[in-house]
Structure 1
């Protein structure tokens, strides 16, 4: 059963404006299924996973585009960057012949951006719209409307509140469509195959990674440190690699959309802020598999339950922005050297919205005590939120609300 993706409207708006659209995201999040579902009958489809077509595209890009002319969906474009200059030529020719026809020509997907984005920016600047897709969001699974998260949004509750064990079942399974629809019986097979495919295809293709065993240990170390401050020394020690290699490998995970680095918020008013970003492995199911939690119940009561809850909430909020077409959301965190911390700061229209992410069903007003430190930035402070497992949206002061995590 196809689950309608919230990115639909943003993608179609972009396609009506740009001659080419590129959809990027990790493997298996549903990029191809989504675009084929949107495609009209006249749009051709070709995947560069097919070795014959990949060789054709690399060897004779002009001939490839002559065979698969616009409108066309080209899957896994990163395997043939040689096509990009020829896409530019085709777009410019269409603009010269008939400007109205130079829209909605090329739909492209890419599973990892590490080698691809330089060629896109050089060849197709001003001609291509780029959107990001992650796994299924909670709102997509419940068929709810998606808007960028802000604490003063309207949050509509379902027929009954989701319990903490139920939420941790979602966290444990993760958000890949194949996992959501396949169920827990196939979890081990799905994630072991996913990791093997990622290592053997995406990572081996990057000549900079010579030791896949060490890279796997590095990936597991990243999963074990989700929702923590980034520490390259610890990551390099775990994988027995240099700090320079750890930095290079983390950039690969970030470019593959598996990892998100949440930057600290700062301006010129203070120098007492922690400057390291926070590290998140965005799919909690993959993170749970890599860190070998056996069941959702054990994860819920384990030492990393708070980190997994925070990661899931951050990923849901990030998806709400990506699914609305906002690829550069103003998301940060706050931590100073006095150990005052705010899990998430959202900066929108010159206003700061503070958010705490707490795995508790009994939140307290005191959970928002550090929000007042934001006054030092001399910016307008919007509604704050404590995202938690309280069963309903409830005020916890004049300018703060308890918001149930399942409503994100």
Structure 2
């Protein structure tokens, strides 16, 4: 199969041309090195996966830069953060743009090193797995927000997707779309490599215990994060689970969706929800081996929600937007009802809150957006168009301010 053009490419090239350094983060195997080598073939390249290269960078940085002159692409730069101080000196000596490009799969740890050494000198971007837009060669590259303008522009490039469950089960790693790679073999190798090359450097636990932990987290994708519950299943302490969750987030395996915090929502739950970044990996770990069994399983709703959340996140990161300050969820108790009410996703933009429900149904109802009115309590914010992302065939208004959309609109 031909190379799938990544939606983030043009923005990466622009950032390289305007910044002294660029950092591209993302989980292993999402295509960081492939993209950068393809778009910046003229750059010298080294990888800190190589121990001898790391050793020279650490002990003889001047010799390292003589052997590897600028412009330079350093892969897995987080494995030798000490080099960043020397890079800071070099980039400060010149006004040239695009002197260094970095990639790394441990984004939070890497960001710490960048913020300490290269603040104001490095542009940070994130690459995720393939989006549905990329897989179907759709050029539209604007983040999802259910405004009239977005919907109108998106409709110019709509493509009918085949069975969505095939994509949910397969996952989004490029190699699965590049060659006829066996699904189980790929994910088995991925998990082994992830634990061997990333995790052993960050924890002291044995691989079997950590794999049990990975599986326990995958089984809870789309749920409110409960450290004690996971600790009980795995047989480790709650602080250990907190530390390991942080590692999963750092290495791009999970995403923690934060609750929307507003003082007037005093009955709201304050814990984050946890989502696997790749549904194929979550399916492999929880042993859903075919798309049909997944589609008809008890976890289908959570996997569907996980996939849609991931697609929305990709729409932000592929446009170079930091989604962490834009998307939230809400769950709380309303005095008028006995149970809890939830809004699956709240997208905030320009002081407007857009409530999004994610439902595995082809027959959406207006009452599915009943909780949206809670957002009217928040001062200085307006409630925008509500949307239900579901398995409906076409755009359908359920109320004047509530619309049901097929996934192809994301």
Fold conserved between structures, TM > 0.5: yes
Q: 1:230 Cα shift?
A: 0.3
What secondary structure does 2:93 align onto? helix
C-alpha distance in 2 between matches for 1:213 and 1:240: 12
Residue 363 of structure 1 corresponds to 364
**Residue in 2 that maps onto 1:136:** 130
Which residue number in structure 2 is paired with residue 85 of structure 1? 85
- What secondary structure sits across from 2:343 in the alignment? strand
Distance 1:104 1:241, change over 3 A: same
Unpaired stretches in structure 2, ≥5 consecutive residues: 335-339
Aligned length: 397
Per the alignment, do residues 365 and 157 of structure 1 end up closer, same or farther by CA in structure 2, a change over 3 Å counting?
Answer: farther
Q: 1:312 to 1:74 in 2, by over 3 A?
A: same
1:178 to 175, 178, 181: 175
The reply on whether 1:245 has 2:240 as its aligned counterpart is: yes
SS of the equivalent of 1:336 reads strand
- Per the normalisation by structure 2, the TM-score is 0.94
Alpha-carbon distance, 1:182 to partner: 3.0
Post-superposition shift, 1:210? 2.6
Q: Deviations over 1:202-222 (max 9, x none)?
A: 00111x333222111111111
Aligned counterparts, 1:342-357, within 5 A = 342-357=343-358
Deviations 1:75-109 (A, max 9, x none): 11012112111110110111xxxx2x2x1110000
Q: Secondary structure at the match of 1:125?
A: coil
The corresponding residue for 2:101 is 107
| 3-state SS in 1 of match to 2:387 | strand
Structure 1 residue 48, shift from structure 2 partner: 1.7
Instruction: List, as ranges, runs of 4+ consecutive aligned residues in structure 1 with deviation greater than 4 Å.
Output: 157-160
Q: Distance in 1 between matches of 2:382 and 2:232?
A: 43
C-alpha distance after superposition, 1:224-282 (max 9, x if no partner): 00000000011111111100000000000011111111111121123110111111011
Look up the match of 1:218: 213
Matches within 5 A, 1:382-397: 382-397=384-399
CA RMSD after TM alignment: 1.5
Tell me how far apart the structure 2 counterparts of residues 314 and 159 of structure 1 sit (CA, whole Å): 19
Q: CA deviation at 1:371?
A: 1.0
Shifted more, 377-386 versus 49-58: the winner is 49-58
Structure 2 residue 228 is matched with structure 1 residue 233: yes
Q: 1:321–1:329: 8 Å Cα contact kept in structure 2? A: no
Q: Which of 276, 280, 283 is the equivalent residue of 1:288?
A: 283
Q: Is the 8 A contact 2:388 2:404 kept in 1?
A: yes
- Alpha-carbon distance in 2 for matches of 1:129, 1:227: 31
Q: Deviation at 1:117?
A: 2.5
Whether the 8 Å contact between 2:159 and 2:408 is mirrored in structure 1 is no
Cα gap change, 1:85/1:159 in structure 2, threshold over 3 Å: closer, same or farther? closer
Taking structure 1 as reference, are residues 127 and 159 closer, same or farther at Cα in structure 2, changes over 3 Å only? Answer: closer
Which residue among 292, 298, 319 is the counterpart of 1:297?
A: 292
- Unaligned 5+ segments in structure 1 are none
SS at the partner of 2:155?
Answer: coil
1:35 and 2:30 correspond? no
Instruction: Work out the CA distance in 2 between the residues paired with 1:329 and 1:296.
Output: 33
Task: With the length of structure 1 as denominator, give the TM-score of the two structures.
Answer: 0.94
